Amino acid sequence: ENLKNIYTHLHTIIAIGTTSLRTLESLYWSLPPIPSPKGGFEVLKVKQFQPYQTPKNQLPSVKAVLEDWLAFMDKHNLAEITGETEIFIMPGYEFKICKGLITNYHLPETTLVLLVAAFVGEDWRKIYDQALQNNYRFLSYGDSSLLLPEK
């Protein structure tokens, strides 16, 4: 059901947290699993730099990838999918699924700040300067914000 909702509302997906964002973006980079010789399926893992290794003109559309997943799940009567991701999102990453991100403020010089910078572009510095100047709370029990990508 969730994957169908993502497909239907593709242009309005807002992730709650960086882990959710990484998971949703990993859907695009994963492929439906292949049958295992031992029975069941082998789930392919999304590698750390996988999004940066394929030329953009060779990438399938997001709709096509989600249609493949939905067809696979329907064919095998699956209600859920599981997998692993090492996806590393940094400036230069082109977001495929997420159009917004609700997240807390992360410590400077961390990979999560790189993810935020990838999402909002150079405005990440203004966002974090605002947070520092106004004593926003950082980390898990801190303040949060709705971030929208740079246009």
The residue with greater pLDDT, 25 or 106, is: 25
Least confident of 34-43, 45-54, 92-101: 34-43
Mean pLDDT of 59-79: 92
- pTM for the model stands at 0.87
Confidence bin at 142 (pLDDT 50/70/90): confident
Concatenating the DSSP letter of every residue in 84-141 gives: -B-----TT---SS-SEEEEEPPPTTSHHHHHHHHHHTTHHHHHHHHHHHTTPPPSTT
